[in-house]
Chains A and B, each alone.
Chain A
Amino acid sequence: MTVGESQALTAESREQPMTALEHAGGPTLTEAPELDMTEEGIDALDGPFTTRQLLRLDEALRVADQQTGLTFSVYIGDLEEPVRQSAETLHRQLEGAASSVLVAVSPNQRVLEIVTGSEARKRVSDRDAKLAALSMAAAFAGGDLAGGVLAGLDQLASHAGRH
């Protein structure tokens, strides 16, 4: 079997390409990073965060989830009135809502809500959540959206402790 034949075989049997490159000679990931991104990822780049801030946010969420075993998620956008109920509705949409923590930030309404599920509440008390909310609000009031979210996630995760 020649090299070309074996390559053709492996190319056929491979269901999913190993990289985001469609064909040889196409653009590299450095030239066209959107090839490796989902639609949501491209939307996130249009948001208020720089790429560096998005990477730090991703890292913070991943580390928080791994260390605590809880599911942390951050929602940034408008919340319907009443704000608390709409944040709790978002929280209920999460898989494993009992052990997840939602940080909902509405910059237009200048409101932030931290919702902890029934299991997560045993790890992150309401007082701990309020402390994180205070530091987040302080950062948001200074216009630092990403820094506030990062600080809040860090505090919530350290209060929850390791699992």
Chain B
Amino acid sequence: MISVRYHWNRRLGALRLSIFSTILVYAIIPVGVIVVVAALSLSGSSRARPARRYRPGRPYDFKPIWFLASPAQVSPAFRAAPAIEAGVIEDSSGAQVRPGPTGGASDRW
């Protein structure tokens, strides 16, 4: 059995709210929450890097990269010298000598 007793000079909780606490509960705290969430979302978006990926039609402004598997792991023949920087073969007149016919394919997108 629950018995609710009121003291004769005590008023109910909602009626006891002063103007200041009303403003605090209904205005300052909600505005504070909104400000915190907005600040978090704005700081998150400014911190994000510019999209580091290629999109067709957008300019691609990265440095040229040349990937090559580690040559020493591939073949003992490459162990002595790095696979890149072999230089270009030139004949006596200085023209470039093509080592052999190269094949391959090209495409555009």
Contacts and interface: CB of A to CB of B under 8 A. Distances in A.
Contact of B62 (A47, A94, A97): A47
A155 B73 CA distance: 22
Interface in A90-117: 90-98, 100-101, 107-108, 110-117
12 contacts: A46-B63, A47-B65, A65-B69, A71-B69, A76-B62, A76-B66, A94-B68, A95-B71, A111-B107, A114-B104, A114-B105, A145-B54
B7 interface: no
A106 B100 CA distance: 25
Contacts of A91: 102
Interface in A105-139: 107-108, 110-121, 124-126, 129-130, 132-134, 136-138
Interface of A: 43-44, 46-50, 57-58, 61-62, 64-66, 69, 71-78, 83-84, 87-98, 100-101, 107-108, 110-121, 124-126, 129-130, 132-134, 136-138, 140-143, 145
A95 B78 contact: yes
A86 B104 CA distance: 14
Contact of B86 (A97, A119, A124): A97
A148 to B, nearest CB: 9
B65 A75 contact: yes
Contact of A48 (B53, B70, B87, B102): B53
A65 to B, nearest CB: 4
Q: Could you tell me the dominant secondary structure of chain B's interface residues?
A: loop
B108 A110 contact: yes
A92 B99 contact: yes
B103 interface: yes
A134 B60 CA distance: 21
Given A46-B63, A94-B84, A137 B99 contact: no
Contacts of A140: 54, 56, 109
Interface string B68-93: 11110111011001111111110000
A108 to B, nearest CB: 5
Nearest to A50: B52
Contacts of A78: 64
A62 to B, nearest CB: 5
A65 B74 contact: yes
Contacts of A136: 107
Given A71-B83, A95-B82, A95-B84, A48 B106 contact: no
Given A71-B71, A133-B107, A94 B86 contact: yes
